[in-house]
Structure 1
Amino acid sequence: MVETECIVFFCKIRGVIELGFRCPQNVNGIAADPQPDWSFDNLLSELDSIDKELNLTLDFPSPFTKKEPRDLKASTDKRGFVMRVSDHETDYADADSDSEVEVDNSLVASGRRFTCDELYMSDDSEDGASLGMQCHQLMDRARLAEAAVYELTDERRFNVTEVVRSKISNLETELVKEKEKFVSLTTTIHKYRELQQERERKLDLQYQRTIAEALDNHLTVVQRDHEHISQLEERRIRDDMARAEAKRREKAIQEEKTRQERIKAEEEARLKSEMVEKAKAAALEAEKKAAEEAAAKHASASDAAPNAGKDSKEAPGPSSSTYDVKKGTQSSAVKNIIRASQNALELEKRRQQMYEELSTKIEPLNQDYQSLGRTIGRLIRTISATIDNIRTRAEEIMKLMNSPQYPQPISIKLFAEKIVSNCTNQRSSNAIFASSRVVVLVTSKTPLAMDILIAELNRICIYTVPKHISYSKEAFRTRDDYFKAIGYKEVDGKIEGLDEYLERLSSYMKLYGALVQTEVRGCQNLHGMKEGWAWLARFLNTIPSNLFTAIALDSFLGMAGYGMYCRYKNQFEKLLSVIGRDFVNALQEGGGDSRSAKVSKVKMSIQNYIESKQYKKEPEGLQLRDRLDSNELY
């Protein structure tokens, strides 16, 4: 405190000098100090710099001589100025730097009084000594001022530290708040993202539901279209049946008239024939009498005549040694050209009689059933390898067979003919097995249809008996007659080619093999695996090995081999070994380059079938599907 008074006193002596800061003293309520940790040495150096600016020195090299006071004037009451140092360091900091008057007034107050008039400044040594003593006292007071400065510096440093600590605390609080705000925003973002995902999931679900509804509507429209088409088809069939019935009735009436006319004509012809017979009887009586008279005159001639007649009866006619292709009859001279077992021929004959009896029942009707044939043919052609389709087609065919509108013999015969003829158009095993299933379903309800179908197959293809006819010049007038006997077709007066015949032969045998192997749950196959085993045994025992028989055997094994292996196992494999050892080795390559190539091809096919054991693999189409692949698109 003393040191501060000395500093202020010194300043008053030198003049009114304000030690101010080079920056604003107060910023936002905080006192600014350009160097808050000043020491006393720093203060002295600052005072020296001020003295140099005023061209003064503090060392007093020469005695101070008072000439005249600079700014101090003598006062009548001889009072000096009063200096007061505040106990609080903030009194100077809070003072306004722009007003010197306010600073002086704050410092001037009641306190210790200094009078400058008591000092007599002269050049005497006593005055210099007294001045030195005063300087010494001032220096002692300076040490006290230095301690005060240290205290003020520490207090200021403490205040600054508190302010900094306060700011750091505020910053930490703000950081915590910012962190909490960030966490809150992050949580909000996550919630928003979850809401967005939930919204998108709901939109996807709604979109899928819309697609499903559109698909259901589409399927409903497609089903309605199919039902409409089916109704139109059924209506067309009913119209065709109605027109056919009208034609049948009209034709029946016309036939009745024709029959009456024919009866009249036959009666007239009978009467005429009776008259002619009476005339012939009279003529014969006259000839007899004439012969008796001639016999008496020419006895020798009458003896030669009976011998000549006897010779003429023993000589065979030109047609007695020929083979009747249509009826299948033969004389003893050509009986050896047929190769077949006796049981097979008897079964063929029995089925042929049933076929002829059925045809005999149909002939008196003499009506046009083309519309019925077209309907049955359309149903057979639209058979596919699906369970629903096969069941539907079988039910429709059985309805036609049991319909009172048509005679059942006609429906059975048309069914057999359409099945056999349609197999030549079926290239895949799927279609052949599907047709065989329809046959089993239909014939299980109508057993006669199976015999008629097998009879039709035996008539078209002799190898389904099995039976083989060898060529003989004595039995056949020409090669064409022989070809017709073994199943060649005549088209426009010409016999079909070898390739066409072999292709049809293979189709017939595939149908027969599929029919033998087909089994339907709940139905009995009237011509099943037992008949297939009998056919194979008869074939190997009686049928020779050539191109035709090899094609028939290869086609049959390809369709029925799997079923026969599953049923007979080792016994069937023994038969296959016999085929590979005897039948295949007996095949002779001959008859031209084309036929030789075909023989080699079928020979290799049979060998590959046996060696690779293809009979253990289920043929394609044996197992049905629930629906067609095209239906899976809907």
Structure 2
Amino acid sequence: MGFAKLELRVPRSSTWGKVLAEPDPYWTLDSLISELDSFQIKSPLPPPSSPPTLGTPDCRPRDGAGEDERTGVSAVRPFTMCISDDDDAEDSEGDSEESSDQSLMTGTRFSCPEADFDSEGSDYELDLEEPQIHLMDKTSLDESFLFELEREHQLKVKEEIRKKASALEAELRNENEKSFSAVARLEKHMEARREMDRRLDKQYQRKLAEALDCHLSIVQRDHEQRSQIVERRIKDDAALEEAKKKEKALHEEKVRQAKAEAEARQEAARIEEEKQKAVLEAASVSLAEHQGKDEGTSSKTILGEATWKQSEPNMAINQESPATREVAVPSTHTGVVFKAADSALKAAAERLAKYDQGSELYDKLVSSSDKDFDNYQRQIARWIRQLTGTVENVRTKSSELSNIMKDPRCPYPVSLMIFAKKILNLCENPGASFDGIAFAVGHVIVRVTAQVPAAMDFVLAEFHRSCIYTVPKFLQSFKVTNRANEYQKLIGYREENGKIESTDSYLDRVESYMKLYAALVQTEIGDIRNPHGIKEGWAWLARFLNMLPANKFTAVALEAFLKMAGFALFQKYRAQFNKMLNIISNKFLPALKAKGNADVYMIISKLETYLEKKLYLKEPNGRRLEVSLSSRLHMA
């Protein structure tokens, strides 16, 4: 802020000198002019009697002006005016206030020293020619202080207002900036959302296209698979027809050979019959004595075949009279006869004949061929060992076994012999879960037989060779000699290292064979026909009760058969099956108890429990194949 010292030259006698100067360090020139105009309006002055001359101003002492104490002449003090510079107003604020305070305190008045104005003051002189007015009335010191305090108060109020206005402006600017920033962020967020929506839309369209492509691929693959299945089925049908033709030709050849062999056997049998005539007579005498001791067991039929046919008139079973047929075994086994139904013996003889022919052919192929059939044995044994009680497992293993048996590199007799032996090997060491596995094995046998019909004859022949009670037949010995071991071998005992196995071991195998046989005869698979189904099971039970005596061997076989097939027989025959159970309860069990042997009490207890608790009403565990192993675990 700059300051300029202005001295107004006026006459001493002029009334202009009476106006006190009250400079405001913050005034501007415009505010000074406006202030002067306001004073002129408030107190107009009369025109002076003699206007002062600018050239020689008459400067008189003003009222209230001080006189010089030394000379007694009034002291003329100059008028000091502060002119504020806008740029430096703030820097010189303190100095201006101090100077203004001093001027007010000393009462500085306008003074006009006698001096000539330069040429530049000509315009000012012209202006002074006009009527002059007082700038301010004379005021007291108190009023000056009050006015100054009011002025300071106004200045403070103005400053506060200015600061608040500045703060409000700053706050408004901040708010505007925040608003602009928020709007910018919102627009940016909206743009990001739009971009995200575009990306999501593209991603969704891509996924939709991928899903559609995947669906079309699946449809195409399914169509191809169905086409392959149809083609494979056509090929399989053609192969089956070809196999049937070959089998038919083979069967015709076998029949021809069987006829020739039968004629040779008949001739040999005629000669042998003449030799054994005396032996048969002695055996007949011994049989008569034995029948007198054991009533109703061997000489009297428990249930005639006529009764069985009457209960089931629609059963197409070609059987002869069920009278006991005594067949003499070769001379090395003198005193032993068969007890069985003639029809059962015929069926078993046919199966065993086929089996023997296959066995001979198998031996020739194995001995003469350079091929190694051990691989087929391992494959068949592995598929059978991996059987479980699930539908998918049984279907898969049956298909694999059928494919192996259809393999042209492995002849039919070889594959059939291996299949039958491996199936029956399961009964050698039965485990705790053998009952469930037996039903699965039954399903596999039926499924394989549907593809390879000759498989059933070989399996049944293997049953008859391993367990005579599957025929059913019984070997009756009438001579007590030291050839007991030979008799045991005839009924199925095994010899290992020169020693005959124990009776318990033999009975365990008999029980396993009968359980597997019972599981086979009651197996039913939708539209797949079982050639040795439930009708054969009913016929077996009738022949068993008609022909076989009651002892611990036959009792074990009967209990195992009823445990596995009793439910299916009851569901099929109902009242007729109850008649069979009554015969067991009234005839078979009393005859068994009459033996008086302590080792039959356990099997008698099992049969009585089966009849009393009606266990044939409960479906055996494992009879229904599970959909999967998880469902089996869930049911458990």
**If the length of structure 2 is used for normalisation, what is the TM-score?**
0.49
Choose between structure 1 and 2: higher helix proportion. 1
